[in-house]
Amino acid sequence: MMTGPRITLISPRGPLYRHNGGIWKKSLRYAPLTLTTLAALIPDELNAEVTLVDEGIEEVDTDLNADLVGISAITGTAPRAYEIAEEFRSQDVPVVMGGVHPTLRPEEAMAHADSVVTGYAEETWPQLLHDFTNGGMQRRYDQDPDLDLSGSPRPRRDLLPEGRFTTPHTIEATRGCQHRCDFCVVPSAWGSPMQKPVAAVIDDIRQMDPDTLVFLDLNLLGDIEYAKELFRALIPLDLQWGGLATTLIAQDDELIDLAARSGCAGLLIGLESLNPDSLAETRKQFNTLEEYRTVVDRLHDAGIAIMGCFVFGFDNDTPAVFEETVEFVNEVGIDLPRYAVLTPFPGTPLFRRLKKQGRIRTEDWTKYDGQHVVYEPEGMSAEALQEGTRQAWEDTYKITSIARRLFRSRTRPMLSIASNLGYRFYANRLDRYYNCREPV
């Protein structure tokens, strides 16, 4: 059989790996799905030789023999992606770029790549590869968002190095999100929700045969009836899983019961803000402060830990936001709080608004990592926002704060203690990982 093209797919390193190796060391990550999914979409008939490089765990060998390099980038990794692309293109190796950032800034990405794929890649990536082997690769491929995921192949997890991820079993059942939060790239880049058939998801899980599993779906509850069907089908598998959801889970008794019975151990939920004006500002009114306590209590009663995410820097935020938020997470017992600085990712309504108002301080995408202040805040100085965020992390992960939160929660104590100590390590070194004591 004739040997096909040698294709190398690269995920460039982000800020945690640019500075001091990252919080969890390189091996303590969950297995990513983008590269393995792209690898699975490579048509068999091309007989391609495929290599995956996740720069979070290994260096890119720029001397490698490749006929085609594909790079998937988010905004924070785009400059590194361009650097890698230049290196390969200088050796006459053609480079294709895709992912969130090239989807939202295709013209920019095209300046650094021979071809750009926007949106999902289910149909365009195989098409591009056929065109490439026939010598007719186009400059740009735009995926029709009206996709059917029912025939999606299983990700090529076998191509990732073994033993490098603490959570090796990851899966994606759905894509997109029906909400339209002002700061979020998901609606702009990925559009409305779509699902894989539950039977296909369960089949994929059975073949992995995991004890624990992480759903990487951006919002597992995009379609509540689908989520219920999925949770029902997970029950016989007797595993523990975690994923991303919204506060809406607490409004549906059956949903929360099915989540618990299906082995849900923890959910990451964007609470974003305690301030109703900020929630309205960001178009996330389905979150309400009055319900936050109920959400946390109901999840805890079901044995589900909560990783609660908050964003600082909305126009309605004042310097009081940091202390108020830290006090709240300690009081209600959020198992693992996380904080981000509001980040106007390009392509989002937030970016357009701030750009129009002349409030974007920098378009150095390396600083678009959720921990740098890259715009001019309204209710406080950029310095106060930067330092307040850092201080909130530090205060939240003091031993006394951890003890207070976990005593209140009493949900999955061993896991919570270990996760909190990991986050305490991170919180105390935030500046080192992001170089973010000063705003940009």
Q: Which residues bind ligand SF4 (CB under 6 A)?
A: 177, 179, 181, 184, 186-187, 218-219, 246, 270
CA–CA distance, 348 with 18 (Å, rounded to integer):
26
Query: Cβ closer to ligand SF4: 219 or 420?
Result: 219
Q: Are 371 and 431 a contacting pair, CB within 8 Å?
A: no
Query: Cβ closer to ligand SF4: 160 or 184?
Result: 184
Name residue 117's amino acid: V
Query: Cβ closer to ligand SF4: 50 or 264?
Result: 264
- Helix (H), strand (E) at residue 8: strand 6-11
DSSP state of 361: -
Least Cβ distance, residue 181 to ligand SF4 (angstroms): 3
Q: Are 70 and 10 a contacting pair, CB within 8 Å?
A: yes
Least Cβ distance, residue 135 to ligand SF4 (angstroms): 40
Least Cβ distance, residue 322 to ligand SF4 (angstroms): 21
Nearest to 207 by CA among 248, 241, 158: 158
Nearest to 131 by CA among 100, 98, 96, 157: 96
Least Cβ distance, residue 246 to ligand SF4 (angstroms): 5
Query: Cβ closer to ligand SF4: 132 or 314?
Result: 314
With the CA atoms of 375, 381, 387 and 393 taken in that order, what torsion angle do they form, in degrees rounded to the nearest 10? -70
Least Cβ distance, residue 186 to ligand SF4 (angstroms): 4
Query: Cβ closer to ligand SF4: 181 or 329?
Result: 181
Query: Cβ closer to ligand SF4: 218 or 341?
Result: 218
CA–CA distance, 393 with 7 (Å, rounded to integer):
41
CA–CA distance, 81 with 35 (Å, rounded to integer):
14
Least Cβ distance, residue 30 to ligand SF4 (angstroms): 18
Nearest to 54 by CA among 73, 35, 30, 69: 35
Query: Cβ closer to ligand SF4: 70 or 346?
Result: 346
Query: Cβ closer to ligand SF4: 204 or 217?
Result: 217
Distance, first Cα to last Cα, the chain = 55
Q: Which residues of 251-285 are buried (b: 16+ CB within 10 A; e: fewer)?
A: eeeebbebbbebbbbbbbbbbbbbbeebbebbbbe
- Provide the total of helices (H) and of strands (E) in the chain, helices listed first: 18, 14
Least Cβ distance, residue 430 to ligand SF4 (angstroms): 22
Least Cβ distance, residue 188 to ligand SF4 (angstroms): 9
